[in-house]
Amino acid sequence: MHFIRIMLKKIISIFSAIAICLSFLSNSALSIFADEKSELDSLESKHIVLMDYNSGKVLYEKDADSKIYPASTTKIWTAFCVLKKCKDVNEVIEIKDMPVIEGSSMYLENGEKFTVLELLEALLIHSSNDVAFVLARHFGDGDANNFIKFMNEEAAKYGATHTHFHNPHGLPDEEHYTTALDMVNLSRVAYGNDIIKKIVAMKEVDFKKSHNCKLDRQMFNSNKFLSSLDNIDYKGKKIPIKYDIVDGIKTGYTDDAGNCLVSTAQKNGSRLICGVFGAPGGALYHDSRMVLDYGFDNFKSVTVFNKKDLKGEKKVKFAKPSTIKYSVANDYTITIPKDKNVDKKDYKTKFNFSNLKLPVKKGDVIGTVSIFDDGNMVSSIGLIAENDSQSYLQYVMSLLPFGKEKNKSEKTDSEKKNAEEKKTENAKSEDKKDSKKEENSKEKDASKENEKTNDDSFVEKVKTAASNSYNGFIAIFSGIGDFFSNLFTSNGIKNIENSNFYKFLDKKISEKVTFIPAKVIIWGVPILILLIVLILLIAIIRDNIKKKKNKKSEKKKSKNKKQSSNKEEINIKKEKVKNEVSEKKEMSVDDIIAKEDESKTLNKNNNTNDITQETKRIPIKKDN
């Protein structure tokens, strides 16, 4: 017993020591955390926001909701809205009627021609104000104000309720304002675009003199985190401004706004986005680095949902194949304090396929998965199709000769797009012309190969399709049934107009008929058919009623005939009886007596015969 007591005392003392150490460590960690946070509060920059890129959670903020002037960080949103409106980044814009724009400029000249992509590079790397105006005017249909209106509408959609843009470049204007929190939120949205992500990581861009470009232009990225060899004082040391973990996104400066920088960095699987506004000269990069380092030192990234966890299949009616496999665009990862853990059970998902439109190509975004934490939506991730799918009508159309031609043109368009994308990758190389020639020849070869593929036998395709014909027809009629059954629901017409069948009809009719709205044809033709069917049904019912009436009258006539024939028979019988009676009356008394004797004799003979028969049947007993 004494030994056990000694052991228990030792164990208790060990655990007590561990507990004291842990409490000391946690307290010291908390004190370090608090000290670092107080250091951020004392930074010279007026407005600061540190945000987890994946979840959008704010990790640190300083005066984040006050009204500020965004200066050239405006161009982040300008670029995003350009890409929202632009169908092809290789579209060429000719410089015309160029006004004088103050501030940073690319010095565009009338008659020069640049692609949208080239102008976006100048906008985000060199921060050219004249480029911002050209893009806004072009995508505002000739009026920059139309584009600025669009910028504000899009900002409101993403929750930037304290932001109002009044120009596309960020030059001083009392009606052009935002908040640090709004600007970081919008920058986070814009950075999600792959083109913007690629441009803001570039250190420089060159435009060589040519028939489209009147001057040689070499422009360096204004974000010194990417390449600057200058030094800053940081925590008592001289260190380079260049910070390898930073890969975007945009600077800004005006006298009213002060120095501004939205930056993003990735480390140990975590991506943070930081906004520093109203920084005095020399403090911009110091303060930005302090905030980023604070984030990486005190927070960690945890993957709540892996891409594999959210893989699935979507059943689509009226489609071939009827199942579309999908995966999510990325993992859902959050950043939390290093001393905390996350319970994945607190997170729920909701899938949305309301924007799914047939046909679907592999790689298309067919929906979103929204992620909720404690009932609040914290993220929305795109769902990517892993296979092609099309409606049965589209499939049938593709087999027809005219559908086949359209397929060819669509393929040619996609080939052109692919070729153009290849061109953009090599757009800045010195042997640009040679690469274009090679790509053009490749494009021709690719189109020839596709033409050979398109020449596959129509009969072979029909044979292949025949095996699925039964399921196809069932799917078609069930789809049409659903289409019309939606009429009788509470939102019948809306449901029908949102259906794939309706959208398909609307698209096809709009392509073929321009003088009558597709909606009139879609609703008018079925109503007309229903009226014709109704008229036919009424005619059939009327004919049936007539037939029934005719049958009844025929039955009546036959009944009357039978009754009259029965009466005739009765009358004939009556006449016969009367005749017999009259004959009897005419017979003499002797004849009557003779007749009666004759009948008696017959009866007697019959009785004698009966007795003889009975006698024969009785057995004769012999005496012993």
Is residue 208 very low, low, confident or very high in pLDDT (cuts 50, 70, 90)? confident
User: Domain for residue 74, yes or no?
Assistant: yes
Average pLDDT of every residue of the chain: 78
What per-residue confidence (pLDDT) applies to 427?
Answer: 46
Candidate list 45, 55, 72, 391, residue with the active-site label: 72
Q: Are residues 184 and 209 in the same domain?
A: yes
Q: With contact defined as beta carbons under 8 Å apart, do 294 and 37 qualify?
A: yes
Say if 250 falls within a structural domain: yes
**Of 510, 529, 547, which one is at a domain's C-terminal end?**
547
pLDDT in tens, 322-359: 899 999 988 888 888 988 888 888 899 999 998 888 88
| Res 272 pLDDT > 60 | yes
Phi, psi of 384 (to 5 degrees): -105, 130
**Residue 72 annotated to the active site:** yes
CA–CA separation, 121 and 220 (whole Å): 10
Percent of the chain that is helix, strand, coil (3-state, to 5): 55, 20, 25
If you search the block for the tokens 């033409």, which residue do you land on? Answer: 451
Evaluate whether residue 62 is within a structural domain. Answer: yes
Dump pLDDT digits (tens) for 507-529: 777 777 767 787 777 777 778 88
- The residue with greater pLDDT, 288 or 452, is 288
Does 182 have pLDDT greater than 60?
yes
In a domain, 284, yes or no: yes
CB 277 within 8 A of CB 68: yes
Give the model's confidence band at 400: pLDDT under 50 very low, under 70 low, under 90 confident, else very high: low
Q: Percent of the chain at pLDDT above 90?
A: 40
Q: What is the pLDDT of residue 13?
A: 62
Predicted confidence (pLDDT) at residue 595 exceeds the cutoff of 90: no
Confidence check: pLDDT of 567 > 60 = yes
Residue length of the chain? 624
Distance, in Å, from the CA atom of 571 to the CA atom of 540, rounded to the nearest integer, reads 47
* 549 annotated binding-site participant: no
Is residue 421 one of the residues assigned to a domain?
Answer: no
Q: Is residue 149 part of a domain?
A: yes
Average pLDDT for 448-474? 47
Q: Is 127 a catalytic residue?
A: yes
d(CA 184, CA 56) in angstroms, rounded, equals 9
Tell me which H or E stretch contains 440: helix 432-454
Mean pLDDT computed over 237-259: 95
Residues forming beta bridges with residue 262, ordered by sequence position: 250, 275
Tell me the Ramachandran region of residue 317: left when phi exceeds 0, alpha when psi lies from -120 to 50, beta otherwise: beta
Q: Do 228 and 351 fall into the same domain?
A: no
Give the H or E element holding residue 502.
Answer: helix 500-512
**Domain identity same for 139 and 176:** yes
**Dihedral through CA 236, CA 241, CA 245, CA 251, nearest 10?**
130
Residues 67 and 183 in one domain: yes
pLDDT of residue 412: 47
AA identity, residue 472: G
Q: For residue 415, is pLDDT > 80?
A: no
Report the pLDDT value the prediction gives residue 539, as an integer from 0 to 100.
Answer: 82
DSSP state of 587: S
Can you tell me the mean pLDDT for 208-222? Answer: 87
The CATH number assigned to the domain holding 340 equals 2.60.410.10
Same domain (yes/no): 140, 214: yes
Contact (Cβ atoms closer than 8 angstroms) between residue 202 and residue 97:
no
Q: What is the mean pLDDT of residues 226-248?
A: 94
Any idea which of 39-43, 365-369, 480-484, 507-511 has the lowest mean pLDDT? 480-484
603 against 225, higher pLDDT: 225
Is the pLDDT at 232 greater than 50, yes or no?
Answer: yes
The pLDDT score that the predictor gives to residue 470 is 47
- Percent of the chain at pLDDT > 70 equals 69
User: pLDDT at position 308, please?
Assistant: 86
295 and 365 co-located in one domain: no
Active site residue 66: no
Q: How many domains does the chain have?
A: 3
Higher-pLDDT residue of 480, 292: 292
64 and 117 part of one domain: yes
Same domain as 55, residue 145: yes
In this structure, is residue 182 part of a structural domain? Answer: yes
Residues ≥6 apart with Cβ < 8 Å to 542: none
pLDDT per position as a tens digit, 352-393: 998 888 888 998 999 999 999 888 888 888 999 999 988 766
Query: pLDDT, tens digit, for every residue of 63-113?
Result: 999 999 999 999 999 999 999 999 999 999 999 999 989 999 888 989 999
184 and 313 assigned to the same domain = no
307, two tokens = 């891409």
- Listed range (51-55, 303-307, 434-438) with the worst mean pLDDT: 434-438
Residue 62's nearest CA partner among 78, 81, 44, 85 is: 44
DSSP conformational letter for 280: P
Range of the domain at 498: 490-547
Q: Which of 339, 366, 394 is the last residue of a domain?
A: 394
Residue 554 lies in a domain: no
On whether both 206 and 343 belong to a single domain, the answer is no
Which CATH number is 55's domain given? 3.40.710.10
Helical residues (DSSP H) of 140-230, grouped into ranges: 144-157, 180-191, 194-200
- The residue among 254, 280, 303 that closes a domain is 303
Handedness of CA 607, 612, 617, 618 (dihedral sign): positive
Alpha carbon distance 181, 168 (integer Å): 19
Query: Which tokens belong to 97?
Result: 């009627």
What pTM was computed for the model?
0.59
318 and 187 in a common domain: no
Mean pLDDT value across residues 401-415: 49
Active-site hit among 45, 55, 104, 127? 127
The catalytically annotated residue of 62, 75, 314, 423 is 75
Q: Which pLDDT score, from 0 to 100, does residue 616 have?
A: 47
Are both 159 and 237 inside the same structural domain?
yes
Summarize the confidence of residues 227-249 as an average pLDDT. 94
- The mean-pLDDT minimum among 9-18, 185-194, 274-283, 471-480 falls in 471-480
